[in-house]
Chain A
């Protein structure tokens, strides 16, 4: 009768399909599981590209992004971790681990012949209940500025504790909190610039209140300007092309060429003069500045910086309050940028341009120092996570304790729900609570602790109303999270809970996998 599909296409049905997706998803969860928690381990990722560049990381999203995955269910998990990264910036590992655990529990239920749809409806009830349980326990210190800053500090430390920066977490937490507090509630992380310079140690990293541009000052131009007026521009400063379509130079004698050359030069001189007429003493351009105009600027005592990329000028425009100009005919109405001081500074071996006392107080630059580029990359990722979480927390200031406390609270509420729910769904709800407990279990396991013992203790502790107990990884026992100052943002926890449930649901609903024949690629030899 012939097959329905093209050659090489495969079809997995029913049990086998479910098995394939469960196994794929759990494999991914197990892969990142060991990175969870303050004592989680890092992974080395080696690219297959030229140079086999190496990344050392602990960030779930980064690890999953770089994997080549064939299993469709695994791809769903990779996807949710990416979204988690985009939306809240942290909890990328937790979300995958939780989804993996939910599926592991679901597999057991499917094996005892409970229909996936029943499991899904149980999971949905449980997720809703867990979320409500968290909502009841959140602390909101928005009104009390002092306490709120304290909260932010705690959250930053908790986030950083699982990263490479954990040794200096206090230092970095302070950097991150200071940077985010400057934003005054905006989630626009663009005005926080991170510059990485190898050399020194991590503790040498610092927050600078100004703006640092990784560029050099032109030859013969002032190295230090006070009360700078800055024109930020995006214009061609080589030879200005004639933009009218089809224009070309056609002449009949050498003399004419020379004339036109002079005219061209004259035109550039005019342009430079127009720019200088703005009354500026600093000119920053996105495109190249050729030697001739550079010389003109130097003559006029104007500091000219060339080839600042798009990001650079946009940021500079933002922080100094100037507009990005491309025409220079109305000097009176162009908004110039201002700053108190421009100077060349040295960080390590490199010269950088430092703008301090800028008009907009929101901007700042974090300069990261560290032993190797790998270290710096990882430090940047960790810091980015912390900044994201903090900026989200500034908007949604609800805070929870960390260290497995939220999971225990949720598990307790979900367990109670299971007892009240009649029918087969209660098995699924119970399973949900087991999956939640798997997170503190993993944290304990990764720290080399006796998880069975600890979790049992923790559960007993949580039986009391209003307990603040969690896992204290440092001392290896159950500790009071409010005393230890371990906090997490509610927004992150909520996103973890909801996305993980959604992903698990999606995978559970599948009963058939159809893989099309891979597209043939022509071999280019």
Chain B
């Protein structure tokens, strides 16, 4: 029990321990935290690299996910431990910031924690360790910039982009057709990229999946795809040069927001009301027709009567289209979303070269393709695959590839993969360590050792002798003064990653080092864990 005394000597209780709370403090607390962090890293370690393994995750509802993506594994693991949750956050922020390298960042943090534990045992104060790590991370950060290459690419020369995306995809299950996937990702990103501002809005890329077919059937559609069909089964299935009215109001009699009642107390009123009602429908359809629309896309439902009128007047329509899709359609076709029939004007219509409905397999699934849009800056990647899990995993992998391509457009510096960047940093940090006079020197050296963990894990996952391989590569880097030597995971026969065309983005790597250092510093600073004990 923690006690304190006030100025009159009376004691009061700060924390009630007893049965309600369990408490760890000092070295014990740090050790417990470190071991939790390491446990998380250990789970992800085997997923690193092109030969990394997958995990099966079963959700509380019994749904199964099979994945190799660090962020997804951690997200679905449903961890209870507070420190483990920090690691989960770490991977998530890498995912938000960069989109790739979510496994690597956790493995790195785990390695840093492992090294820190040794230092703590030797009696070095955790804060000094943290400071040393901070210094070392800055050295590594700058060194990365030093070894990075600028990679030139234009709209015609996209080979380098494709190669980088392929590196990302090679660790996923889709690596069977990583070339075509990488091409799709790069084309998609280039289609929506603003090369002048060096910005890419990934929201413009929609990734849709449908079970069935082969992975090879995955395609990039320059346009939008909606998982809906025409509202009336007999409407035309193909419209050329469509003018699209994008509506957010239902084809139904208006519903005023204020509460009201319409009283019917005579036969005349009954009849006028009936006529009024018919006029409503007629007007709605006529308005769409008048402005020259040849296709109506609506967020809401249609009344049966309106539906038939639409069909009858040869105005195909799609109902119950989601808000996000509606926005995408508006962007792609250059149309405006119209909230009221009165506001429909010809200028607000979107334009698309071809709208068609396509059926799949033996089931009744149909989808609507909107292609050759006025503004082609919205694309859809349509994934086919053997089963739902495969498609989900492909979605995640493609997301990573898209992020990588985006990062390259933002900043076209790259470093070489296969652990070569880490090895090179490790050498640089090691060399710099000796220049620091204080206790931090040990921490900096430990940081260098921790950097080795990534190539080590890569080698281990690829079935190579980790220590032997790593020391050989390290020696080679120094001897040839070549920072591109890495682990030859695919058994190609060369250690030079430049020849293997294995790249990663500079910002991705830098972010990995910064984020993992930050989290480790945070964990090291905790010296007291108070938690309500379980009953």
A residues whose Cβ falls under 8 Å from a Cβ of B: 1-7, 9, 17, 21, 70, 72-73, 75-76, 79-80, 82-83, 86-89, 115-118, 124, 187-190, 234-235, 240, 242-252, 256, 259-260, 262-264, 267, 314, 317-318, 323-327, 329-330, 333-334, 388, 391-392, 498-499, 502-503, 505-506, 509-519
Contact = CB atoms under 8 A, between A and B. Distances in A.
B255 A245 contact: yes
Given A248-B261, A323-B311, A86 B276 contact: no
B262 A234 contact: no
Contact of B54 (A5, A502, A506): A506
| Pairs A-B, 8 closest by C-beta atoms | A326-B308, A511-B53, A519-B60, A79-B387, A509-B54, A515-B58, A72-B64, A247-B262
A324 B56 contact: no
Contacts of A392: 362
A13 B428 CA distance: 36
Given A72-B58, A88-B362, A333-B312, A247 B232 contact: no
B60 A517 contact: yes
Interface string B304-319: 1101110110000000
B263 A76 contact: no
Contacts of B211: 83, 86
Contacts of A317: 233-234
12 contacts: A3-B80, A6-B79, A79-B387, A79-B389, A86-B211, A246-B256, A246-B260, A259-B267, A323-B234, A506-B390, A516-B77, A517-B60
B254 to A, nearest CB: 7
A334 B234 CA distance: 13
B66 A510 contact: yes
Contacts of B128: none
Given A86-B212, A88-B362, A327-B308, A246 B55 contact: no
Interface residues of B, number: 84
B252 interface: yes
Nearest to A186: B359
A324 B385 CA distance: 36
A344 to B, nearest CB: 27
A485 B110 CA distance: 64
Contact of A510 (B55, B214, B265, B303): B55
Given A1-B36, A324-B232, A513 B56 contact: yes
Given A72-B64, A506-B66, A86 B56 contact: no
Contacts of A327: 278, 281, 305, 308-309, 312
A491 to B, nearest CB: 11
A147 to B, nearest CB: 25
B55 A514 contact: yes
Interface string B237-267: 0000000000000001111100111111111
B493 interface: no
A509 B233 contact: no
Contact of A5 (B80, B265, B280): B80
A314 B233 contact: yes
A324 B270 CA distance: 27
B480 interface: no
A242 B54 contact: no
Given A70-B62, A260-B264, A326-B305, A21 B77 contact: no
Contacts of B31: 1
Contacts of B265: 249-252, 256
B71 to A, nearest CB: 15
Q: For the complex, would chain B's binding face be called helix, strand, loop or mixed by DSSP majority? A: mixed
Contact of A391 (B61, B304, B362): B362
B55 A248 contact: no
Interface stretch (B39-47, B130-138, B192-200): B39-47
B76 interface: yes
Interface in B431-480: 462-463
B267 A510 contact: no
A234 B304 contact: yes
A516 B387 contact: no
Contacts of A7: 80
A4 B312 contact: no
B361 interface: yes
A244 B253 contact: yes
Nearest to B365: A86
B233 A87 contact: no
Interface in B19-64: 31-32, 35-36, 39-40, 43, 46, 51, 53-62, 64
A250 B269 CA distance: 11
Contacts of A325: 308, 312
Nearest to B233: A314
Contacts of B84: 4
Nearest to A18: B53
A317 B234 CA distance: 8
A4 B79 contact: yes
Contacts of B159: none
B290 interface: no
B274 interface: yes
Interface centre among A189, A256, A263 (most CB of B within 10 A): A263
Nearest to A322: B234
B273 interface: yes
Nearest to B87: A4
Contacts of B64: 72, 75-76
Given A17-B56, A514-B55, A509 B253 contact: no
